[in-house]
């Protein structure tokens, strides 16, 4: 399987075991002021284009997980344990992310956002930790089973890569 930036690179950049506490964003070159949140009324294509234009100087390469899959992430950890993460993936049926960025093939896209934020638990049973969104906001929130917070990043990447292969 072709992986341009490599799942290993994502795990390396976002790995909490390198320092006792801290935070990280992926791609590592992503400008700090760029909001990775999909804005209200923003379609997925607009969100992706904004993130690439504002945070990556118009280049899709830094966020490219596969030719048609983009990955953005932010994590915070303390005592080498994840305390917050937001991982976002956009997968398109377009030939590649560059074509999608230019507006071709924008009709068939899949979006996944994995969230872990124990400081904002929300209403009882509404937001299991961690949970997966398949739309930019709101329901459904799907519990994302994991072997533990130390494996969360790797298991999410595995889920995305296997899901992407099943779409072909």
Inside any domain, residue 2 = no
Which pLDDT band holds residue 75 (cuts at 50, 70, 90)?
A: confident
More confident residue, 149 or 11: 11
Separation in Å, CA 103 to CA 27, 61, 161: 22, 16, 24
Crossing angle for the helix pair 152-166 and 7-14, nearest 10 degrees?
160
pTM for this predicted structure: 0.82
Inside any domain, residue 108 = yes
- Please give the tally of structural domains in the chain: 1
Residue 140 has pLDDT above 70, yes or no: no
Inside any domain, residue 1 = no
Inside any domain, residue 68 = yes
Q: What mean pLDDT comes out for the span 66-89? A: 87
**By the 8 A CB rule, do 113 and 88 touch?**
yes
pLDDT tens digits, one per residue of 1-27: 344 456 777 877 877 677 788 888 899
Paired tokens of 138: 């709101």
Q: What mean pLDDT comes out for the span 48-59? A: 93
Inside any domain, residue 54 = yes
What distance, in Å, lies between the first and last C-alpha atoms of the chain?
A: 12
For 130, the domain range is: 7-166
Inside any domain, residue 110 = yes
Inside any domain, residue 11 = yes
pLDDT tens digits, one per residue of 115-127: 887 776 666 556 6
Residue 4: what pLDDT? Answer: 43
């Amino acid at each position: 399987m072709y992986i341009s930036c490599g799942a290993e690179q994502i795990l390396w950049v976002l790995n909490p075991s390198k320092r006792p506490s801290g935070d990280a964003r992926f791609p590592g070159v992503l400008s700090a002021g760029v909001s990775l949140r999909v804005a209200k009324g923003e379609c997925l294509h607009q969100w992706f284009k904004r993130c690439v234009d504002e945070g990556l100087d118009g280049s899709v390469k830094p966020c490219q997980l596969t030719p048609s899959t983009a990955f953005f992430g932010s994590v915070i950890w303390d005592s080498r344990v994840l305390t917050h993460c937001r991982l976002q993936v956009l997968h398109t049926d377009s030939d590649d992310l560059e074509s999608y960025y230019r507006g071709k093939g924008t009709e068939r896209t899949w979006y996944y956002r994995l969230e872990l934020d124990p400081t904002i638990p929300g209403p009882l049973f509404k937001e299991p930790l961690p949970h997966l969104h398949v739309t930019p906001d709101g329901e459904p929130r799907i519990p994302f089973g994991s072997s533990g917070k130390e494996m969360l990043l790797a298991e999410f990447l595995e889920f995305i890569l296997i899901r992407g292969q099943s779409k072909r």
